[in-house]
Amino acid sequence: MTPRRDSFAAFTALWTAGFAIFMALTVSAQQADQTNLHPDVLSLGGSVTEIVVALGQQHRLSGRDTTSTYPPEVTALPDVGYLRALSPEGVLSVGPSLILSEEGAGPPQAIDVIRAADVRFVEVPEARSAEGILRKIEIVGDALGVPEKASDLAAEVKASLTKALADADRPTSERKRVLFVISTQGGKINASGSGTAADAIIRMAGGINAVTEYKDYKQITDEAVGLAAPDVILMMDRGGDHGAADDDLFAMPAIRLTPAAQTRSVVRMDGLLMLGFGPRTAVAVSQLNAALYPDGPDT
């Protein structure tokens, strides 16, 4: 081989090696940029935060609200306050460029101020059905710029929900009457009527909401509790005046003569899991169904 050819071959080898190193450094830099993205997403609402994490975007969160408690790791993030009692100062203090908020955040005056700031605000509609949950995933995925991941997550959630709902289904004649009690504070029963997350999860889990005479959550009279004749009392798993112990619950005049009191049937579940209507709702349906019907399907 001539000296000129030797030089050309050496140059080519050197250029190839240099280009390979350049590409490797470029890829490494891109990966570092993606890994070290400055967190600038604020999530308001427990189910929205769950969706962000399920999409693999937890590293982008700069803060969360008080209702965002799952997975436990998110509780290490700055807490900007309760979803329905926000302050503009608290929300903007975490420096978000994108706010993902469950429908119903407030108060309205605070949201008006937040929307007027130079921050993108995306509202995620409430859900009371499988279709609503899938829509929430789609909206969050689009807002975060990861629609493909959202599509994959939605497919997984849809499959798990379809199975859970099918397993929980049973004839109306076999369904138990369930009274969801949100609070027993001051000895008064505050219970769910129709059109609530509690109403929806009861029906999805194969039960019948014992109270449908009114919408939303309201204080109910002792007589009305007796007429509702619940087979099971359903409550969030929490302490304080809002969540009476079993003995205190079944000793309440409004409840002690109900079928639920006769069998001491009370089910307590994590509030976010049960009422959040997020990626884990299939788990909530299965758990509640198993608690309502511990012996399994009637034969």
At 99 the pLDDT is 98
Reported confidence tier of residue 241, pLDDT bands at 50, 70, 90: low
**In a shared domain, residues 254 and 276:** yes
The tally of domains found in the chain comes to: 2
At 118 the pLDDT is 87
Cβ neighbours of 274 (radius 10 Å): 27
**In a shared domain, residues 156 and 180:** no
Reported confidence tier of residue 31, pLDDT bands at 50, 70, 90: very low
- Answer whether residue 1 is part of any domain: no
Task: Supply the CATH number for residue 223's domain.
Answer: 3.40.50.1980
Query: What's the CA angle centered on 55, arms 100 and 117, to 5 degrees?
Result: 20
Q: Residue 136 belongs to what domain range?
A: 41-167
At 32 the pLDDT is 39
- Give the mean model confidence (pLDDT) for residues 82-109: 97
Q: What is the per-residue DSSP string for 41-98?
A: EEEESHHHHHHHHHTT-GGGEEEE-TT---SGGGGGSPB---TTS--HHHHHTT--SE
**In a shared domain, residues 163 and 176:** no
Domain boundary among 167, 201, 235: 167
- Model confidence at 188: pLDDT above 60: yes
- Answer whether residue 109 is part of any domain: yes
At 21 the pLDDT is 45
Q: What is the DSSP letter of 180?
A: E
- Give the mean model confidence (pLDDT) for residues 96-109: 97
CA nearest to 266, candidates 186, 194, 184, 188: 184
- Answer whether residue 260 is part of any domain: yes
- Model confidence at 280: pLDDT above 60: yes
**In a shared domain, residues 83 and 176:** no
* 40 φψ region: left (φ > 0), alpha (ψ -120 to 50), beta (else): alpha
- Answer whether residue 31 is part of any domain: no
**In a shared domain, residues 46 and 160:** yes
- Answer whether residue 24 is part of any domain: no
pTM (2 decimals)?
0.85
Residue 239 sits at φ, ψ, to 5 deg, of -100, -165
- Answer whether residue 219 is part of any domain: yes
**In a shared domain, residues 162 and 205:** no
**In a shared domain, residues 155 and 266:** no
**In a shared domain, residues 68 and 122:** yes
